[in-house]
C-alpha cells in the first residue's frame, strides 16, 4: 500500500502519534494519481538527482525514490524524521536531512549525492507560508538546478507565471521569469490533502534558461526598479518611481531623461511593461545617474 493511500496515511499518523503544526504549514497529499503526475511532469529518471523540501511522511518521496537516481529530502520538523525512517526504510537512495532549507549549506550538501554530476531537479510540495522565500533562495543560489516542479497555492503559481497586462503580473513574475521559464502544469484540488488547506494548489514547472531573459548592467538594481514599479499597482510608473527615488527637481529631470531613453511614457503602469522593457528602464536610470 502506498504511503499516500488515505488509510495508510491515517495509520502512519496514528502509529507515531503525530499531530499537525500550523507553524510548519503541513498538508499531506493523499492522492497517488497526482503524485505520479508530478513525477511524470518532472520527467524523473535514474539519470536525475532530486532535492525535495518538506517531505512530510514521505508520500511524494516514495514516488521520487522509485524513479530518481537519488533523493535528498530536507525536513525542518524533527518529529517527522523517525517517521520518514520508518516509511522509507526500503529505499537506500534517500537521504533525509533535518535542516531548514533556507539555512542549510546546499553547495556542500549536494556533494553528498553518490553521483553529484547528475542534473539536479527540485520537486516538492512547498509549505505555503514560505513558498516565495524558498523559491527565490534556490533560484538565486549558484546551484544550476535543471528544473523545478513544485506545488504551491494556485494564486502564487498564477503570479509567478503571469504575463504583462494581467492582474497577476508583478515583481514576483519578473524575479522568477528573469531566470526561469514558468508554466502551470496542472491544478490540485484542496480536497486531496490531510488536513485540507483553504485554497486549491497548482503544480508549477520552471526550467532554467540557458541565459538570463535580459542582459542588464546591474541585476540587483533591475529587480529594485521592477519592485518599485509595483508598490502601488494603480499608480503610474512615474508616481511609483518618484515615490521610490525622490521628488526633487534634479531627480525628476533624471527620471524624465531615463524614461525618454527607454521609450516609455510616464503615464504607463508597471503591469504594462515587459521584462525586457524593465531591463531598458533600469539601464536608462543608471545611465541618467539614478541609483
- Quote the crossing angle between the two packed helices 237-245 and 249-261, to the nearest 10°: 130
Model's pTM, two decimal places?
A: 0.91
Strand segments (E) across the chain: 28-29, 49-53, 70-74, 94-97, 120-125, 147-153, 180-188, 193-194, 201-208
Residue 280 backbone class (left: φ over 0; alpha: ψ -120 to 50; beta: rest): alpha
Which segments of the chain belong to CATH 1.10.8.100? Answer: 219-287
**Residue that the C-alpha cell 531615463 belongs to:** 258
Which segments of the chain belong to CATH 3.40.50.150? Answer: 6-208
- Quote the CA–CA distance of 244 and 247 in Å, as a whole number: 9
- Quote the CA–CA distance of 92 and 261 in Å, as a whole number: 59
Residue 17: is it exposed, middle or buried by C-beta count within 10 angstroms (0-12/13-18/19+)? Answer: exposed
Is 7 known as a binding-site position? no
Is 75 known as a binding-site position? yes
Class of domain 6-208: alpha beta
Closest CA to 182 of 214, 164, 159: 159
Residue 197: is it exposed, middle or buried by C-beta count within 10 angstroms (0-12/13-18/19+)? Answer: middle
pLDDT at 207: 95
Is 27 known as a binding-site position? yes
CATH entry 3.40.630.30 includes domain 219-287: no
- The pLDDT profile of the chain, 291 residues, written as one tens digit per residue, is 999 999 999 999 999 999 888 777 789 999 999 999 999 999 999 999 999 999 999 999 999 999 999 999 999 999 999 999 999 999 999 999 999 999 999 999 999 999 999 999 999 999 888 999 999 999 988 898 999 999 999 999 999 999 999 999 999 999 999 999 999 999 999 999 999 999 999 999 999 999 999 999 999 999 999 999 999 989 999 999 999 999 999 999 999 999 999 999 999 999 999 999 999 999 999 999 998
CA angle 53, 56, 10 (to 5 degrees): 160
Is 289 known as a binding-site position? no
- Cell numbers for 3, please give them: 504511503
Is 125 known as a binding-site position? yes
DSSP element (H, E) containing 9: helix 6-15
Q: What is the DSSP string of 207-226?
A: EE-SS-SS--S-HHHHHHHH
pLDDT at 255: 97
- Quote the CA–CA distance of 128 and 151 in Å, as a whole number: 9
Is 100 known as a binding-site position? yes
Residue 132 DSSP SS3: helix
Amino acid at each position: 500500500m502506498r504511503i499516500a493511500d488515505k488509510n495508510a496515511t491515517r495509520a502512519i499518523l496514528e502509529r507515531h502519534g503525530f499531530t499537525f503544526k500550523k507553524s510548519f504549514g503541513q498538508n499531506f497529499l493523499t492522492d497517488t494519481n497526482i503524485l505520479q503526475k508530478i513525477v511524470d511532469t518532472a520527467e524523473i529518471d535514474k539519470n536525475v538527482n532530486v532535492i525535495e523540501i518538506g517531505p512530510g511522511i514521505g508520500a511524494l518521496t516514495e514516488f521520487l525514490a522509485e524513479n530518481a537516481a537519488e533523493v535528498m529530502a530536507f525536513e525542518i520538523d524533527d518529529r517527522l524524521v523517525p517517521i520518514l525512517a520508518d516509511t522509507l526504510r526500503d529505499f537506500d537512495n534517500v537521504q533525509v536531512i533535518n535542516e531548514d532549507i533556507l539555512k542549510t549549506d546546499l553547495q556542500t550538501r549536494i556533494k553528498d549525492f553518490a553521483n553529484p554530476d547528475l542534473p539536479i531537479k527540485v520537486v516538492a510540495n512547498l509549505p505555503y507560508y514560505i513558498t516565495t522565500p524558498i523559491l527565490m533562495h534556490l533560484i538565486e543560489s549558484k546551484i544550476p538546478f535543471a528544473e523545478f516542479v513544485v506545488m504551491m497555492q494556485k494564486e502564487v503559481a498564477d503570479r509567478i507565471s503571469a504575463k504583462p497586462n494581467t492582474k497577476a503580473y508583478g515583481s514576483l513574475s519578473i524575479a522568477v521569469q528573469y531566470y526561469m521559464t514558468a508554466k502551470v502544469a496542472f491544478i490540485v484540488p484542496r480536497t486531496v490533502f490531510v488536513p485540507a488547506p483553504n485554497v486549491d494548489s497548482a503544480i508549477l514547472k520552471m526550467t532554467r534558461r540557458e541565459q538570463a531573459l535580459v542582459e542588464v548592467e546591474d541585476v540587483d538594481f533591475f529587480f529594485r526598479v521592477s519592485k518599485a514599479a509595483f508598490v502601488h499597482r494603480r499608480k503610474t510608473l512615474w508616481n511609483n518611481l518618484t515615490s521610490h527615488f525622490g521628488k526633487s527637481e534634479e531627480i525628476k529631470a533624471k527620471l524624465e531623461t531615463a524614461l525618454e531613453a527607454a521609450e516609455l511614457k510616464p503615464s504607463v503602469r508597471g503591469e504594462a511593461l515587459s521584462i525586457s522593457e524593465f531591463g531598458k528602464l533600469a539601464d536608462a536610470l543608471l545611465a541618467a545617474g539614478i541609483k
